[in-house]
A = this chain, B = another copy of it.
Amino acid sequence: MLLSNLFLPLTKDLPTDAKIKSHQLMLRTGMIKQSAAGIYSWLPLGFKIMKKIESIVREEQNKIGAQEMLMPTIQSADIWKESGRYNDYGEEMLRIKDRQGREMLYGPTNEELITEIFRSSIKSYKSLPQLLYHIQWKFRDEIRPRFGIMRCREFYMKDAYSFDIDDEKAKHSYNKMFYAYLKTFNRLELQAIPMAADTGPIGGDLSHEFIILAETGESNIFTDKNIFDIKLNSYNFSKDSLEKMRSDFSSFYSATDEKFNKDEFEKKIKKENQIKAKGIEVGHIFYFGEKYSKPLNCLVDHPEGKKVAVKMGSYGIGVSRLIGAIIEAKFIDDVMKWPRSVSPFDLVIIPSINKNNDENSKKALKIYQELKENKIDVLLDDVNENISAKFKKHDLLGIPYQIIIGSKSEDDKFEFKEVGKIATMLSLKEIKQKLKK
Whether the Cβ atoms of B91 and A99 lie closer than 8 Å is: yes
Whether the Cβ atoms of B98 and A70 lie closer than 8 Å is: no
Q: How far is the CB of A125 from chain B (nearest CB, A)?
A: 13
Question: Residues of B contacting A75 with CB < 8 Å?
Answer: 35-36, 39
A389 within 8 A of B: no
Q: How far is the CB of A216 from chain B (nearest CB, A)?
A: 25
The answer, among B35, B37, B116, for a CB contact under 8 Å with A71, is: B35
Q: How far is the CA of A139 from the CA of B137 in the complex (A)?
A: 14
Question: Residues of B contacting A47 with CB < 8 Å?
Answer: 68-70
Whether the Cβ atoms of A7 and B132 lie closer than 8 Å is: yes
Question: Residues of B contacting A72 with CB < 8 Å?
Answer: 35-36, 39-41, 137, 154
Interface code A99-110, partner B: CB below 8 Å = 1, 0 otherwise? 110101010000
Question: Residues of B contacting A76 with CB < 8 Å?
Answer: 35-36, 39
Question: Residues of B contacting A99 with CB < 8 Å?
Answer: 91-92, 94, 141, 143
Q: How far is the CA of A98 from the CA of B143 in the complex (A)?
A: 10
Question: Residues of B contacting A41 with CB < 8 Å?
Answer: 69-72, 113, 117
Indicate the member of A7, A33, A40, A100 with the most B CB atoms within 10 Å.
A7
* A–B complex contacts, Cβ < 8 Å, 20 sampled: A7-B69, A9-B122, A33-B117, A33-B121, A35-B75, A35-B76, A36-B74, A40-B72, A41-B71, A41-B117, A44-B69, A47-B68, A47-B69, A48-B68, A73-B73, A73-B154, A74-B139, A92-B99, A96-B96, A98-B141
Interfacial residues, chain A to chain B (CB-CB below 8 A):
5-7, 9, 30, 33, 35-37, 39-44, 47-48, 50, 65, 67-76, 91-92, 94, 96, 98-100, 102, 104, 106, 113, 116-117, 120-122, 130, 132, 137, 139, 141, 143, 153-154
